[in-house]
Chain A
Amino acid sequence: MAIQWGFVFAALGAALAAGLAGSGSALGVGIAGQAAAGVVSGDPDRFGSCLLLQLLPGTQGIYGLLIAFVIASKAGLLGASGVAVQATQGLQLLMASLPIAIGGLVSGIAQGKVAASGICLVAKKPEEQGKAMLMTVMVETYAVLSLLISFLLVNGVQV
């Protein structure tokens, strides 16, 4: 049976989107989590605010999952689908996954670092939690923009 390159490319795109963006989030949440555990060991009452900050770098993974799912359903990878995806369309879907894959990976790590610093800030000045969150969300803007372009590109592919 001949390899259906369209499906292969689309699947690769979905895998990259979910895998790389998810890795970014995993690393980011991990970095922030280490800082949070340190702070909570000193002052267990800080758990709530630390957890909120730790969660913030987790969204890249969700954006990646989202794009992966949209690609997969568009290419009919989730179940029987009558249409065969052409190689060109598959490549298009692969390219469309790149913004969130790369953007999610890098911004997830960067956001994790800011979140960790924010957690240290909360440890010293609990009343400044709003500012810590704001700084962390600044990084996420670029993940959101990546998500947006990925989504528009996927949406533009005619299958």
Chain B
Amino acid sequence: MIVQMKRLSLVAHKSDEQALLKELQPLGAVEVIPETEETRDQSGLDAAQSNVDRLSEALNILKPYGKKGGLLTAAPEASLQEIRDKMPEALRLSSELEMLQKDLQYCRAQADKNAGIIETLLPWKDFPSDMADTKGSKYVRYFTGLLDAEDVPKLEELKDIIEVQIVSEAKTDAILIACAESDAKTVQNYLKSLSWTEFSFPKLSGTPQEAIDRLREENDALGNEAQQLIGKIEEKSTFRDNLGGAYDAAVIERDRAEAATEIGLTECTFHLEGWVPEDRVADVKAAVESVTDAYYMDVRDPEEGEVPPSVVRNSDFVEPFEAVTNLYSRPDPRGIDATPYMTPFYILLFGMMLSDTGYGLLLLIGGLLFLKLKKPTGMMASLAKVITWGGLSTIIWGFLTGTFFGLDFDVIFGTNNVFPILVDPMSDPIMMLILCFGLGVLHILFGVGLKIKMSLEQGDWQTAVFDNLSWVLIIVGLIMFAGSSSVQGLPPVISKIGLVLAIVGAVMILLFKGRAKKNVFGRTVAGLGELYQVTSYLSDILSYARLFALGIATGVIASVFNQLCAMLMSSPNIILKILGTLVACALLVGLHLFNLAINTLGAFVHCARLQYVEFYGKFYEAGGRTFQPLGYNAKHVRLTDK
């Protein structure tokens, strides 16, 4: 159900502003429309934002350390007051963490730098004298550098004017060359023509070997210090929950501060414009009255040109499936909420794509455990519930098609051909395909039916009859015409009725599709174009073949895994047999879990696709905007006060 949105205007005394916002925030019912004309003092928002940033930085620093909440650990519960009280302590802690992190980064950077110097000094470690001595003097110039080994003999050419000392030999040699200051230019030019790489010693005292030793010692010390710092940071990781709670409190405060900057102000009043769902107006009014009686509040329907956010309200059963719709697009606030109509089909088709009782049981139990232990919220909770319902449906479809972890039910129960109850896709694929297409036709016709309903509600009977009902006639008619011949014992008149229906539908389209056009010829051309749509309906229906294909993909792969493991267990040698059985058992668990995971993902997305493209394509009006009310958006704790 789409909830009507109301435009709220609230005027009250400026001094009540903070108190009012504090009362409105827990309701989560008002989306503030930013006042664009004047800009307000941002300092409150900036301070609140900086708290959020600091705490989120602290949480990031702690991320690699300490134990994390497991997959099935629920977030801790806390009241708003509790997490608010944690703020000052958490902010102090985050400053501390920031300092530690900074020191740690400094240590690591310094160690990296030292390691780099050591690396460059290694070829020079046999250099016997102080590095500072290579600076040269008034009459002597030293060159230090690296030269490819093959170029070293070429230095012979200058042997009259230079003294060469090879410090170390490798692919490139480290070389010291001394010459008279007056020859320096000649030597330099000659070196440039070789593969000479100039090397200047770092500004350190002592011989290279001494420097290396010193740097290594320094790095050991830095390593120790880094370890200590990491230890200190790790100690703080026990406060992760406090930090998370404080972060949530900071976000709540930030959101309120942000709302405050979006509210218009006059000399002594403030003026809040916003959207409220119709069913929450009374709550908002009560909240305002609890603060002050000096207020003016106006609630009206949206005017032309104003686009309200889209809000839907559904029963607990349908509500999780809103997440599936939201993945596509939220409904247009003036359209209809398709989720309640989509839900039963989603459950039905999801189960059909997995159709294995064993896998269904795993999904059902897993989903329930996840919901029970993790207590997820938001999108996560919705998806878990969707999967749980899908699991239930999968169990039933598994009975109907007779598979349990890829095994035949008859094998397990020792029954003789009781299963499958409905149809065995492996031995009777055509029957299964017909079942899929049948469901597809139902699904599509239901979508067209919804479009007819919508058009009639808007008073547009022409669209309902000529553009949509005509298609129902064509589809039903064609199916009766073609289908009745393949089923024996049906009177031939059904086929004739079908043909008549289809022709009536086609004529309706031919004559009235282009009803906006005056020209008869133009009308007929538009009608012919529309009739070509029959291919799109055909491809829509054929698209439901994926139900069958994904169904056998799950079942056959499961039985392939079973057979592989059966081969492992069937060795005649007793020792190999025991070993094989052990390996096979472990393999079975892993392989089936893999198959379940990949096919659940497949079923989820393919089922969603059938809803989005084949079903929603017929009637859904997408493009709504998400409702983002001022509220409590807690990520790390579950707030107890609502």
Contact = CB atoms under 8 A, between A and B. Distances in A.
A78 interface: yes
Interface in A66-115: 66, 69-70, 78
* A58, A62, A65, most chain B CB atoms within 10 A: A62
Contact of B598 (A59, A78, A131, A133): A59
B598 A62 contact: yes
A52 B543 contact: no
Contact of B429 (A78, A134, A151): A151
A116 interface: no
A137 interface: yes
B553 A62 contact: yes
B602 A70 contact: no
Contacts of A69: 556, 560
Given A52-B601, A59-B598, A130-B327, A144 B560 contact: no
Say what secondary structure dominates the interface of chain A: helix
A140 to B, nearest CB: 8
A137 B556 contact: no
Given A59-B602, A134-B612, A151 B327 contact: no
Given A55-B601, A58-B598, A70-B556, A144 B550 contact: yes
Interface in B408-451: 429-430, 433
Contact-residue size bin, chain B (C-beta under 8 Å from the other chain)? 20 to 34
B557 A130 contact: no
Contacts of A145: 542, 545, 549
Contacts of A59: 553, 598, 602
A157 B557 CA distance: 21
Given A55-B598, A62-B598, A134-B328, A151 B605 contact: no
A52 B553 CA distance: 19
Nearest to B595: A62
Interface in B512-559: 542-543, 545-546, 548-550, 552-553, 556-557
Contacts of B429: 151-152, 155
Given A59-B598, A62-B598, A148-B548, A78 B556 contact: no
Interface in B320-367: 326-328
Given A55-B601, A130-B608, A134-B612, A66 B552 contact: yes
B375 interface: no
Nearest to A129: B327
A144 B328 CA distance: 22
* B433, B556, B601, B606, most chain A CB atoms within 10 A: B556
Interface in A29-65: 52, 55-56, 58-59, 62-63, 65
B553 A130 contact: no
A4 interface: no
Contacts of B608: 130, 133-134, 137
Contacts of B548: 148
Given A145-B545, A147-B549, A151-B429, A65 B560 contact: yes
Contacts of A70: 556
Contacts of B372: none
Given A78-B563, A134-B328, A144 B609 contact: no
A66 B557 contact: yes
A66 B560 contact: yes
A159 interface: no
Contact of A63 (B553, B601, B605): B553
A134 B152 CA distance: 65
A56 B598 CA distance: 9
Contacts of B549: 63, 144-145, 147-148, 151
Contacts of A136: 605
Contacts of B602: 59
Contacts of A129: 327
Nearest to B323: A130
B547 to A, nearest CB: 10
Contact of B545 (A55, A65, A138, A144): A144
B435 to A, nearest CB: 14
A44 B209 CA distance: 42
Contacts of B557: 62, 65-66
Contacts of A141: 543, 546, 609
B466 to A, nearest CB: 31
Nearest to B594: A62
A66 B557 CA distance: 6
B553 A137 contact: no
A96 to B, nearest CB: 13
8 contacts: A59-B553, A130-B327, A130-B608, A131-B328, A141-B543, A147-B549, A148-B548, A155-B429
Interface of B: 326-328, 429-430, 433, 542-543, 545-546, 548-550, 552-553, 556-557, 560, 563, 598, 601-602, 605-606, 608-609, 612
